[in-house]
Structure 1
Amino acid sequence: MRFASLGSGSKGNALIVDAGETKVLLDCGFSTRAATTRLARLGAAPADLNAIVVTHEHADHVGGVFAFARRHQLTVYLTHGTHAVAARGQTCLPECRLIDGHTPFAIGALEVQPFPVPHDAREPVQYAFSDGRHRLGVLTDSGCITPHIVEVLRACDALVLECNHDQALLAASRYPPALKQRIAGRFGHLENDQAATLLRQVDTQRLQHLVAAHLSQENNRPELAVKALASALDCSDDWIGVADQEGGFGWRQLI
């Protein structure tokens, strides 16, 4: 199993998980043309994909999902709450399958485990993916860490983990107070130290890859996110990956 990011940040998110004959896109916050171009940079194409799974209805995650899925005849998996909000105003939807946020399901060779997260959306989830040998956990767009999140991510071979902001940078930013409170609140986004705290609560013995994701371009710096995660793992800074808005990150193989 391997995985890569098409881009990560407030202007668009998408991640591809590849288990051989099964390839799944997680979110698509890019236009169909941009998503296709970003896939091509990874040596992939829309025709390679089997489905799209969606975390929540915010535009940087779902903005391109329905158009891309219609164009390439892909099934979209999402919660009832996300579907109810995201489908508003859509005149023609692709095939959608409503999922329970606590119940795993299969897409080809992949077992997909959704799990609820605290975020200011209708019914948001994040996902863990397994091919039977390896497990990839993805956690972004969560305002805080819950015991259930810890349980789901307890023993992964790879983690893509939100490091949205640095607390001091957010406090000093030009953002209005209400927006600062939203971002830093229990239904906002994880900051660097919260992500590090999660790492200290899970079993990282199997961890082959750790990537900081969904970094705010205004309220974080890659080196701050890396320092926090490396400190939690007691590893060198260069072992930590960072997903950026323009390039995401390249393929990472689980062995």
Structure 2
Amino acid sequence: MGEQGLQEQRPDDAVRHLAPPELWDELVDEAVGEVRVIHRHTKFAAPARFAVLSSSSSGNSSVILHQTSSGTRATLIDCGLSPKRTNELLETLGASIDCIDRIVMTHFDSDHFNSSWVSALPDHARFVVHRGHRGVAGRRGALTRRTDVFDDTFELAHGVRGRAILMKHDDLGASAFRFDFAMPGGRTRSLGYATDIGAPSQALARTLMGVDVLAIESNYCPVLQRESDRPIYLKRRITGGSGHLSNGQCASLVRAIGPRRAVVLLHLSRDCNTPEAALLEHAPELEAGLYDLVVASPDAATEPIPLTAD
């Protein structure tokens, strides 16, 4: 079926467009006896943790675990693994596929979007998609009445504000995100997420400046990439400014962002990178104790990092 047919099945009004988030504080009008009392109610984020389920060219998916009054809820960032494998990895973190409330998409490359999620998405859950990816979402079957479309800012969950910046990656780009979690006392905690972003940019550094936890791609070692037997066109795609970040580019961007607590390295190439090569670029910062560093694995989930803890 062509794209026109898909669009006919999914008219524009079938998609929910996310409005920019309101201020954290909202006025609440309550009746107390015969007196109207207006007080200020603040939206605080539920306690939250972040983990990478798996990250490689074979499949990418991460999770924010929200500890709510009704139990553990989950926000996936990308769904490049099969639902079965995702559930297995979530279970190692004390969650399951039924906990998923939404899947936030960076982009729709096959290692970030497994099409079986179109039918496997829990009944209550929704896809969350950048407006610039509506076309490809429709072609992949993910633009339905259970899809939220956002522009630059949106409310991800109760007390969690999302901000996106569309980066240059292949033809349609990829969304990088900053998630801010509202805390008591006017404080916030923040998570930055950037993968498949082509090249470092000042705009991205400004958007993610000073996040508490930063998950960022460190895809390839230039020497291993150059000496690999990959075809020339693939090397050019990866290294040409609209593909992936090298280890050195990643480290340079991390320095510009200045994360406060932890860095998680994503999307290491199996063929053209090693954890040791990626870690070496961060040696000065690690020696100075500027942040903790974790390398995501294709085979197991990372240990969850608290996002809302003091």
TM-score (norm 1): 0.90
Deviation readout 1:157-195 (Å, 9 max, x if unpaired): 001111000011100001001100000011000010001
- Identity %, equivalent residues: 28
Cα–Cα, structure 1 residues 40 and 72, in superposed 2: closer, same or farther, change >3 Å?
Answer: farther
C-alpha spacing 1:92/1:19, structure 2 compared with 1 (3 Å): closer
Partner of 1:246: 299
| d(CA) in 1 for partners of 2:236, 2:53 | 29
Q: 1:167 aligns with which of 217, 222, 242?
A: 222
**2:49 is matched with which residue?**
2
Q: Which has more helix, going by share of residues?
A: 1
- CA positional deviation for 1:239: 3.7
How many residues are aligned here? 251
Structure 2 counterpart of 1:135: 190
- Partner SS state of residue 98, structure 1: strand
Partner in structure 2 of residue 194 of structure 1: 249
Using the alignment, how far apart are the partners of 1:111 and 1:227 within structure 2? 34
Distance 1:193 1:25 in 2: 28
> In structure 2, what is the Cα distance between the partners aligned to 1:179 and 1:87?
27
| Displacement of 1:97 | 1.2
| Aligned-partner residue type, residue 178 of structure 1 | Y
TM-score with structure 2 setting the length: 0.75
Using the TM superposition, name which of 89-98 and 212-221 deviates more. Answer: 89-98
Does residue 86 (structure 1) correspond to residue 137 (structure 2)? The answer is yes
Is the 2:238–2:244 contact (alpha carbons within 8 Å) kept by the matching residues of 1?
Answer: yes
8 Å Cα contact 2:101/2:124 also seen in 1: no
1:170-181 map, 5 Å: 170-181=225-236
Please report how far the alpha carbon of residue 94 of structure 1 lies from its aligned counterpart in structure 2 after TM superposition. Answer: 5.8
Contact 2:118 2:142 in 1 (8 A): no
Amino acid at match of 1:243: A
Q: Report if aligned partners of 2:209, 2:257 keep a CA contact under 8 Å in 1.
A: yes
**What SS is found at the alignment partner of 2:197?**
coil
* Shift, 1:57, TM fit: 1.0
User: Aligned match of 1:11 in 47, 58, 70?
Assistant: 58
Distance of aligned partners of 1:200 and 1:52 in 2 relative to their CA distance in 1, 3 Å threshold? same
- Determine helix, strand or coil for the equivalent of 1:82: helix
Alignment partners' CA distance in 1, 2:291 and 2:210: 22
Structure 2 residue aligned with 1:39: 90
SS at match of 1:240: strand
Stretch deviating more after TM superposition (179-188 or 226-235): 226-235
Larger Rg: 2
Sort the Cα spacing of 1:52 and 1:94 in 2 relative to 1 into closer, same or farther, 3 A.
farther
Residues 68 and 123 of structure 1: CA distance in aligned 2, closer, same or farther (over 3 Å): farther
Aligned-residue RMSD, C-alpha? 2.2
Structure 2 gaps, min length 5: 1-47, 183-187
Identify the structure with the greater strand proportion: 2
Deviations 1:80-112 (A, max 9, x none): 332311321639946011111x22333223211
